[in-house]
Amino acid sequence: MKKKVTLLPGDGIGTEVMSAAVKLMHHVAEKYDLTIETTESLMGGCSYDAYGTPLTDETIQLCYESDAVLLGAVGGYKWENLAHHLKPEAALLKLRKSLGLYTNIRPAKVYPSFVNSSSLKESVILGTDFVVFRELTGGIYFGEPRGYDENKGFNTMVYEKYEIERIAHQAFKVAQKRKKVLTSVDKANVLEVSQFWRKVVEEVSKEYPDVKLNNMYVDNTAMQVVRDPRQFDVIVTSNLFGDIISDIAGMITGSLGMLPSASLGDKYALYEPVHGSAPDIAGQNKANPIAMIGSVAMMFDLSFGMKETADLIEKAIERTLDQGFRTVDINLDNGNVVSTDKMTEMIIKNFDIIYQENKESVFTL
C-alpha cells in the first residue's frame, strides 16, 4: 500500500515535534509494508516570511492531492502584530475551510501512570476517557457580518441545519461504538442559534435510539469537566464552545502537550496536536512529541484504516510514560526528564517491543 502525506511543520516547536513524529511514522509504516510518500511545505509565520502570506495556494493544492495532512503548529511572537488576515492563525482557519474539515475530534484521555501530572486530584481524573467533537468550519468563527469600527465590534454566530446534522451524525456514530452516551453542549438558555442547534441534534438523535442524548449548557459543562470528567464519553459542540471545552479537557490530562486531534471532512483529513507553537521553548529539543505522535496514530486509524497499528502506538506512548520518561511540560511528578529526541526514541523502542509481543501472542493463539 502507498499513501501520500503532506507535512506542514509550521513554526516554533512545530518543526521539532513534526520531525519526531515523521521518524516514528516511517518506522511504523515499514513494519506493515506501507510506503508513505511525504511532501513538505511552509505554513504559518515561516510561509509569511518566505512568501508574504501564511498560506499559499500551492500549499493548499498539495493538501488536495494527498491522503492526509500532518500539521505541527503555527504562530509566534514575531508575527503577532501583522494584519489579521496575514497572521498564522488565519492560515489555519483558511486551511480548515478550504479542505472542508468540519469535524474536529479531540480525545481527552488520562494515562494511568500520569495522574500526578494533572493539576486536578487523582481521585477526580483517574479513568477519564472522553472525546470532544468540535464543529470546525462554521459558527462564530466564520459567520457574517463581522468587523469593528471606532464604536463597535461584532461577529455572527450562525449555524445552517446541514452543518449541525453532519457533525451530529459523526458524533452519534462514534457514541454508538463507545458507551452510547452523547452530551451536546450549547447555550440554549440565551442564544437562538443554540436553541436551533439543540432542536437539530434532537432530531438526528431519533436515528440513534440506542444512544442516550444529554443536552448541557456550556458554562455548566466547563464546570462539570473539572468536577467530574468521568461522566463524559462523547461531547458534541459548536466551534467556539469546542475550542474552550477542549482546552479545559487538555489540562485534565496534564498538559496540552499530550493531546492529539483529527480534523475530518468528506474528502480530506488533517491531523495536528492541540498545542501551539510554544516559541518560549522552541529550538531547544524540549518539546513534548506525544500529541504529534498521537496525531499520527489517529491518521493510521482514521485515514489508513489501521486501528490496530494506532492502538500499538498508543500503547507505546503509555509504556514510555509508565517507565517514567517525561518532557519538561509533564514533569510534575519529578520523573526522568528527557529531550524530544529521547522521548521519541523511547516510544519507537517500545513500539517495536509491543509489536513483537503482539505478533507472538497472535502466533500462539
Fill in the DSSP letter of residue 118.
S
Options 135, 186, 233, 243; binder of Mn ion; rule CB under 5 A: 243
Instruction: Tell me which of ligand IPM, Mn ion, none is bound by residue 163, counting a contact when its beta carbon lies within the kind-specific cut-off of 5 to 8 angstroms.
Output: none
Contact 313, 299 (CB under 8 A): no
Q: Using the rule CB under 6 A, is 155 a contact of ligand IPM?
A: no
Does the footprint of ligand IPM cover residue 92 (CB under 6 A)?
A: yes
Contacts of 210 (CB under 8 A, 6+ apart): 176, 180
Stretch that binds Mn ion, among 137-145, 237-245, 280-288, 346-354 (CB under 5 A): 237-245
Q: Please identify, using beta-carbon distances, which residue of 9 and 273 lies nearer to Mn ion.
A: 273
Q: Alpha helix locations (H) across 178-260?
A: 192-205, 218-227, 239-252
DSSP bridge pairs for 26? none
333 touches, from ligand IPM, Mn ion, none (C-beta below 5 to 8 Å by class): none
Residue 135, binding choice from Mn ion, ligand IPM, none, Cβ under 5 to 8 Å by partner class: none
- Smallest separation, CB 177 to ligand IPM (Å): 25
Residue nearest to Mn ion (CB): 243
Question: From the CB of 93, what's the least distance to ligand IPM, in Å?
Answer: 6
Phi, psi of 132 (to 5 degrees): -100, 125
Among residues 204 and 291, whose Cβ is nearest to ligand IPM? 291
Q: DSSP assignment of 80-103, as one string?
A: TTS-GGGSHHHHHHHHHHHTT--E
Residue for grid cell 483529513: 269
In Å, what is the CA distance from 309 to each residue of 302, 304, 327? 11, 10, 24
User: Measured at the alpha carbon of residue 192, what is the angle toward residues 187 and 197, in degrees to the nearest 5?
Assistant: 65
User: 326: exposed, middle or buried (C-beta count within 10 Å: 0-12, 13-18, 19+)?
Assistant: buried
Tell whether residue 89 is a contact of ligand IPM (CB under 6 A): yes
Binding segment toward Mn ion, per CB under 5 A, in 156-164, 181-189, 243-251, 291-299? 243-251
Active site residues: 141, 187, 219, 243, 247
Is 243 a binding residue for ligand IPM by CB under 6 A? The answer is yes
Q: How far apart are CA 239 and CA 197, in angstroms?
A: 12
What is the distance between the alpha carbons of residues 165 and 162, in angstroms, rounded to a whole number? 5
Least CB distance from residue 316 to ligand IPM, whole Å?
26
Q: Report 285-344 residues binding ligand IPM (CB under 6 A).
A: none
DSSP string, 345-365: HHHHHHHHHHHHHHHHHHHH-
Tell me which of ligand IPM, Mn ion, none is bound by residue 89, counting a contact when its beta carbon lies within the kind-specific cut-off of 5 to 8 angstroms. Answer: ligand IPM
- What track of x and - describes contact with Mn ion for positions 114 through 143 (by CB under 5 A)? ------------------------------
Q: Which three cell numbers stand for residue 341?
A: 529526541
Per rule CB under 6 A, count of chain residues that contact ligand IPM: 4
The residues that touch Mn ion, with contacts defined as CB under 5 A, are 243
The residues that touch ligand IPM, with contacts defined as CB under 6 A, are 89, 92-93, 243
